[in-house]
Amino acid sequence: MTSFDRLMQHVVAEQDARDERAELDRVRDRLREGRPAGRRRTRPRWQAPLVAAAVSAAAVTAVLGWRALAGDPLTFRVGESGAEGVVGQWIAARSTDVALRFSDGGEMTLLRGTRGRVVSLEARRAEVLVESGRLGARIVPGTGVRWRVVVGPFDIAVTGTRFEVYWAPDEDDFELVLHEGGVMIAGCAFGAGYPVRAGETVRASCAPHRFEVSRPPTDPSAAPAEPARAGPAPEGEPEAAEPPALAEPARAATARADGASAEGFEAECRRAGAARLIQLGDTARFGGRLDQARHAYLTLRRRFPQRPEAADAAFRLGRMEFDQRHAYAEAASWLAAYLRERPGGALAQEARGRLMEALHRAGDRDGARRAAGAYLASHPGGPHAKLAALLAQGEKPGE
Amino acid sequence: MSSPSRSPSSPPASPRPADVVRLPLVTDAALVAALRAGRPEAPTALFDRYGSWVRRVLLRILGPDPELADLLHDVFVAAYESIDRLEDPARLRQWLTSIAVFSARARIRRRQRSRLLVFPWADAEAEAVTGPADAEMGEAVRCVYAVLDRLPERDRTCFVLRFLMKMEIGEIAGLLEVSHATAKRRVAAARKRFDGLAARQAALRPWLEEGGEP
């Protein structure tokens, strides 16, 4: 045996050292779920002409034929560059938020510090996994795509909706804020499935199995909301006194994530550095406390006007005004501020795209046309290019 | 394939009805007949018998790959859908292998296309899904993957079938649907290219010193 042969043996041994059982079990389950045993042959063969036509004598054609029957699989693009995403590839939002834009119009954002991946994308089914951190999602309804977002041990089935989800595995802390639509959560405390309604915030833990549902306060200064619904403690967990934080999930999550109480938020902003202020603002924003988020970002801009984070704060203010307050004129101001301060910044492409759209939505047609021209000049192949082309020609895109 | 979940000594798993069905499908021909007849237990039996093998084929060709499970799933869905096209039921294993090989080749081409793009945030993650952990040998194995990743898809497939899977030239020719001579030529070319690239890797040079046969 040559050295080369031994090297090949090592490669094989290394491959075989990987435990295959879990993977095989998972695929086996998927096959069973997606294809109930025996169903295919219960129909007469003439009822499956597409299948018969798609499979050829060659096995490769069979594979391709099967894929063709399913339709074109979804695709997605990642981040500001709009680079084509790779299914299965881990994506770590290390220093900034990372947006995933899907070909059906849906969008997900991995907030800074979040790690996840797109597990599978098919024509009618998509699965995204969040290992840890916070993910914001806007799923387009009516596309026929069944979305599944797996967050640690929790499994969220989605049709069309907008939500944010947070998972801290070390703290066994799950939170879902559902802005629109409805989702079904399964796993751990939720068992086979639990429906969540728009406006509800769900917090859960896996050990012990427990969850609680509440409507977050719209006014951050308001008293904590009454828990609307509470989940069972199926393993005999006593319905013991919940820590006060559980009555107000968003605030509690923020306090825990930040190491600061809600009451001390402003004091924390006074002490915090620029990066910390971004973190405080982000956490508040995704906890639904927009006033606190705004306070943190504005504090950053006032105290650290020369730091790059000041421009980032402007971008975040713009995005918050755009997405959450729908105050498009104000959003445009902030986005323009970002572009003035960091015209070549990492967020410039998205800022130009959003600025153009914000101006359009605010009714500023001339401004939108100019912004569209600037966008096309800077990012002719960018994700907003089609919209930019329409706006640059003075056309009104469909909403 | 023997499944640990069905071992009497294993801890109780969540009940899965088909797990407890004992199939009298001893031969591949019987299994194919059951699939064609639509017997409900047959798809699971097919996977239980060949899931591990097909996974191994995919793994050999692709190396560690985050889409491995999806590809494995796809191979079996394709097999279910086209089982009627299998002319010789006794060749079920070879037929599944050919589907796996073609699926893996398509995956390699996709990977090579996507590698042209830059995912700066994903660089560190690639390490987590590729390569073993131990140091010296691990480095050599990692370099093998690195070299394989630089081979054109056709060369990589030929190389893996011959040198990792130890397939005979005739078998490779059958899988790739080429003549025996063509398969032999491709294997030789793949080996030559691999050696050329491997010689640039310090961790691999010692393994190439004695040469070897293609």
Alpha-carbon distance of B40 to B18, in angstroms, equals 9
- pLDDT at site B25: 61
Reported as half-sphere exposure (CB side, CA atoms, 13 A), residue B203 has a value of 14
Task: Work out the minimum CA distance from B122 to partner chain A, whole angstroms.
Answer: 5
Opening angle at CA A241, ends A235 and A242, nearest 5: 85
* Most confident segment among A158-167, A261-270, A384-393: A384-393
Opening angle at CA B100, ends B99 and B101, nearest 5: 95
Q: Do residues A147 and A158 make contact, with C-beta atoms less than 8 angstroms apart?
A: yes
Is the model's pLDDT at A151 over the cut of 50? yes
Residues of A in contact with B156 (CB under 8 A): none
Residues of B in contact with A67 (CB under 8 A): 74
Residue A7's CB: how many other CB atoms inside 10 A?
22
Q: Can you state the angle between helices A328-341 and A348-361, rounded to 10 degrees?
A: 150
Decide the pairing of beta strands A76-78 and A90-92: unpaired
- pLDDT at site B23: 43
Task: Work out the minimum CA distance from B39 to partner chain A, whole angstroms.
Answer: 5
Contact yes or no for A23 and B65 at CB 8 A: no
Contact yes or no for B212 and A56 at CB 8 A: no
Judge whether B53 is closer than 8 Å to chain A, CB to CB.
no
Task: Work out the minimum CA distance from A351 to partner chain B, whole angstroms.
Answer: 20
155-214 in chain B: CB under 8 A from chain A: 163-164, 177, 204, 206-213
- pLDDT at site B164: 93
Shortest CA distance to A335 belongs to which of A357, A352, A323, A349?
A352
Decide the pairing of beta strands A173-186 and A125-139: unpaired
User: pLDDT tens digits, residue range A119-150?
Assistant: 888 887 888 888 888 888 888 877 778 888 88
Residue in B with minimal Cα distance to A48: B81
Is the model's pLDDT at A280 over the cut of 50? yes
Between the CA of residue A254 and those of A96, A251, A284, what are the distances in Å? Answer: 18, 5, 6
Mean pLDDT in residue range A325-346 = 88
The verdict on pTM exceeding 0.80 is: no
- Name the percent of chain A lying above pLDDT 70: 74
Shortest CA distance to A274 belongs to which of A294, A236, A301?
A301
Alpha-carbon distance of B89 to B93, in angstroms, equals 9
Q: Which residue has the higher pLDDT, B15 or A344?
A: A344
The residues that bridge with A174 in the sheet, in sequence order, are A167, A204
Tokens of A269: 């902003």
Task: Give the three-class secondary structure for A131.
Answer: strand
Q: How many residues does chain B have?
A: 214
pLDDT, averaged across chain A: 73
Report how far Cα A332 is from the mean position of its chain's Cα atoms. Answer: 23
User: pLDDT tens digits, residue range A87-128?
Assistant: 877 888 877 788 899 888 888 988 887 888 888 888 878 888
Residues of B in contact with A92 (CB under 8 A): 121-122, 124-125
Contact yes or no for A2 and B106 at CB 8 A: no
User: pLDDT tens digits, residue range A22-65?
Assistant: 788 888 887 776 643 333 333 333 333 433 443 444 444 444 44
Contact yes or no for B68 and A2 at CB 8 A: no
Contact yes or no for B66 and A89 at CB 8 A: yes
Contact yes or no for A92 and B85 at CB 8 A: no
Q: In which region does residue A191 sit, left (phi positive, over 0), alpha (psi from -120 to 50) or beta (all else)?
A: left
Decide the pairing of beta strands A98-102 and A154-168: unpaired
> Which segment of A242-251, A287-296, A351-360, B44-53 scores lowest on mean pLDDT?
A242-251
| Low-confidence stretches of chain B (pLDDT beneath 50) | 1-23, 117-133, 211-214
Q: Select the residue of A23, A65, A117 nearest B69 (Cβ to Cβ).
A: A23
Task: Work out the minimum CA distance from B18 to partner chain A, whole angstroms.
Answer: 9
96-135 in chain A: CB under 8 A from chain B: 98, 115, 117, 120
Alpha-carbon distance of A186 to A168, in angstroms, equals 17
Which are the contacts of B135, defined by CB distance < 8 A and separation ≥ 6?
Answer: none
Q: Do residues A103 and A97 make contact, with C-beta atoms less than 8 angstroms apart?
A: no
Task: Work out the minimum CA distance from A101 to partner chain B, whole angstroms.
Answer: 15
- pLDDT at site B160: 94
Mean pLDDT in residue range A341-362 = 87
Judge whether A23 is closer than 8 Å to chain B, CB to CB.
yes
Reported as half-sphere exposure (CB side, CA atoms, 13 A), residue B187 has a value of 24
DSSP B161: I
User: pLDDT tens digits, residue range A314-335?
Assistant: 999 998 888 888 888 989 999 9
Contact yes or no for B122 and A25 at CB 8 A: no
Mean pLDDT in residue range A196-214 = 75
At residue A193 the predicted structure's pLDDT band, cuts being 50, 70 and 90, is low
- pLDDT at site B178: 87
Instruction: Transcribe A147-167 into DSSP letters.
Output: EEEEETTEEEEEEEEEEEEEE
In chain A the first and final C-alpha atoms are separated, in Å, by 68
Residues of A in contact with B213 (CB under 8 A): 2
What is the dihedral angle through the alpha carbons of B113, B118, B121, B123, rounded to the nearest 10 degrees?
70
What is the dihedral angle through the alpha carbons of A304, A305, A306, A312, rounded to the nearest 10 degrees?
90
Q: Which residue has the higher pLDDT, B48 or A346?
A: B48
ipTM: 0.77
Alpha-carbon distance of B42 to A39, in angstroms, equals 11
Judge whether B149 is closer than 8 Å to chain A, CB to CB.
no
> What is the per-residue burial (b if ≥16 Cβ within 10 Å, else e) of A256-285?
ebbebebeebeebbeebebbbbbbbbbbbb
C-alpha dihedral sign at B78, B80, B84, B90: positive
Judge whether B114 is closer than 8 Å to chain A, CB to CB.
yes
Task: Work out the minimum CA distance from B150 to partner chain A, whole angstroms.
Answer: 17
Is the model's pLDDT at A83 over the cut of 90? no
Report how far Cα A25 is from the mean position of its chain's Cα atoms. Answer: 28
Contact yes or no for A63 and B75 at CB 8 A: yes
**Which residue stretches of B19-135 are H helix?**
28-37, 42-62, 68-81, 92-115, 123-129
Report how far Cα A148 is from the mean position of its chain's Cα atoms. Answer: 11
Contact yes or no for A88 and B137 at CB 8 A: no
Task: Work out the minimum CA distance from A65 to partner chain B, whole angstroms.
Answer: 8
Contact yes or no for B212 and A15 at CB 8 A: no
Alpha-carbon distance of A208 to A232, in angstroms, equals 10
Contact yes or no for A38 and B39 at CB 8 A: yes
Mean pLDDT in residue range A59-72 = 47
In chain B the first and final C-alpha atoms are separated, in Å, by 31
